[in-house]
Amino acid sequence: MEVNRKMTASKEEEKTVSHRDEMEKEQLINRLKRIEGQVRGIQKMIESDRYCVDILVQISAINAALKKVSLNMLGRHTNHCVSDAIKNGNGEEAIAELMEVFERFSKS
């Protein structure tokens, strides 16, 4: 099972995973850096009084990009954490959690 728990400085419990390799992490972080840049771009559009519809189209693009990251991550999560749980006989809980995330994602 790939999910570990560690204690952070703040004594809060943080779950970690070990299935993301360096290349995958780099790709995800690069995608998020691009999204961060897009969010900064919206700030500049507002500063320069750009037309509402042009800004709204850009925000939709950011949402779509974030959803792509989420779907990618959902797929990997199911392939690793959920699959492992199922193989280890703890599938039910992992699937219930997956469905909750699905529902939240589909409404956001």
Binding site for its own copies (CB under 8 A): 3, 14-18, 20, 25, 28-29, 32-33, 35-36, 39-40, 42-43, 46-57, 59-64, 66-67, 69-71, 73-81, 83, 86-87, 91-92, 95-99, 101-108
Is residue 43 within 8 A of residue 50, CB to CB? The reply is no
**For residue 41, how far is the Cα from the chain centroid?**
21
Taking the complex as a whole, the smallest distance from the CB of residue 78 to its own copies amounts, in Å, to 5
Cα(82)–Cα(63) distance, integer angstroms? 26
Cα(95)–Cα(108) distance, integer angstroms? 20
Cα(108)–Cα(97) distance, integer angstroms? 17
Taking the complex as a whole, the smallest distance from the CB of residue 49 to its own copies amounts, in Å, to 4
Taking the complex as a whole, the smallest distance from the CB of residue 17 to its own copies amounts, in Å, to 6
**Between 7 and 49, CB nearer to its own copies:** 49
Cα(81)–Cα(22) distance, integer angstroms? 18
Taking the complex as a whole, the smallest distance from the CB of residue 21 to its own copies amounts, in Å, to 11
